[in-house]
Chains A and B, each alone.
Chain A
Amino acid sequence: MNTLLTLSDNLRTFWDYTGMANASGGHIAMILVGLFFIYLAIKKEYEPLLLIPIGFGILIGNIPFNEAAGLQVGIYEEGSVLNILYQGVVKGWYPPLIFMGIGAMTDFSSLIANPKLFLIGAACQFGIFGAYVAALMWGFAPNEAGSIGIIGGADGPTAIFLTSKLAPQLLGAVAISAYSYMALVPVIQPPFMRLLTTKKERVIRMKAPRVVSQTEKILFPVIGLLLTTFLVPSGLPLLGMLFFGNLLKESGVTRRLAETARGPLIDTITILLGLTVGASTQATTFLRPESLKIFIIGAFSFVVATCAGILFVKFFNLFLKHDNKINPLIGNSGVSAVPDSARISQIVGLEYDNTNYLLMHAMGPNVAGVIGSAVAAGIMLGFLY
């Protein structure tokens, strides 16, 4: 009899530790979200390099377990493996490493050849500040509003970096929102691009960019670094690493370092970042009304950023000579979802003129958007930290 009782107790203890005993509706809902991300990545090929790690991370983070048992498996339990890996997000050192990789893989020639495009990258940052004001009006504290606003920059690493400094409690929601909307660029942007442009504007042919000398390419990151240092020092962790990565690429004498930065290093950090950001959506901490509000404001910021870029190009064209005009379909690419938003400019442009290739022109505002959103993050940090 005693043996049966002991067996029964042991089975009950075993049951208490299983996922089945600890599962809640929230866990199931988040597991479905994770599966949906994986579906989008594989079936629709929306940003698979991000959505696969994030989607799988959501599954890992939402496997129900007995949180009171101190098993050290959850991402928020100090000392757990996930918690150690998550420190790169919490302390904000994954994003600068990703920026170094982006710098090492980015060719700034299209921007150097036509520096007017810098201003489109600036205009799109209206999305960040519009969302910041909207978040404040919806009851968020100023530091939280700053973190939510940065979603409009369409730059995951920048959003994570700023949120880790200003409002770490919102990290999961902000990061998931930023990466989700980056993946949904092909769905969100085209309707607004068509809505805000005329047929005549959509077929504007832009002048072929001039050839850029190697000296210019080498001096660009050096000048960028010095400009950042003197004007927006708070943007240095991101922009400093971006320009450093770019100098590795353009100097021509550090090929091995550049290849590591844009290859194995950025891949490793992307895996760790995606997986831990996904796992940070543990249902017990993630499923709150604030997360839903953040998603709504995030969508709003993306739309504002897209529209601001397109409308700015239309305004700018009023002052440009006929042969220098800019096709407003590249206005959307001032958000820094590289290179997806530039690809969207190309795809929508080809729908109206199948010989008008906009990709090389759109890459200019696209990389300017990366710089612009990092500057905006630096400014936010300066005001709100």
Chain B
Amino acid sequence: MTPTIETALLIAGIGMTGIFVFMAIFYLLIIGLDKLFPFIAPSSGDGEKK
């Protein structure tokens, strides 16, 4: 294996790890968003005064 290919494999390894880390952080942030700002369904109006 030539040094160029070794470097390429290293860059590929770091690159894929970087992408998975980026996506994993995004994933965790969205989970956090869901906890902080959950969807609240608008009230149906049943409880309103008639």
Contacts and interface: CB of A to CB of B under 8 A. Distances in A.
A118 B23 CA distance: 6
Closest 5 pairs between A and B when the two form their complex, measured CB to CB: A129-B12, A215-B37, A115-B30, A213-B39, A122-B23
A216 B22 contact: no
B33 A223 contact: yes
Interface of B: 4-5, 7-9, 11-12, 14-16, 18-27, 29-31, 33-34, 37-41
A115 B37 contact: no
Interface stretch (A16-24, A253-261, A376-384): A376-384
Contacts, number: 103
26 contacts: A118-B23, A118-B30, A119-B27, A125-B15, A125-B16, A126-B16, A128-B15, A129-B12, A129-B16, A132-B8, A133-B8, A133-B12, A142-B7, A145-B8, A210-B39, A211-B41, A216-B37, A220-B30, A223-B33, A227-B22, A227-B29, A231-B21, A375-B19, A379-B14, A379-B19, A383-B15
Contacts of A119: 20, 23-24, 27
A375 B24 CA distance: 13
Contacts of A212: 39
A207 B43 CA distance: 25
Contacts of A376: 15, 19
Contacts of B30: 111-112, 115, 118, 216, 220
Interface residues of A, number: 41
A24 to B, nearest CB: 36
B23 A368 contact: yes
Interface string A99-134: 000000000000110011011011001101110110
Given A119-B24, A372-B19, A384-B11, 10 more contacts: A111-B30, A122-B22, A126-B16, A133-B5, A136-B8, A212-B39, A216-B39, A220-B30, A223-B33, A383-B14
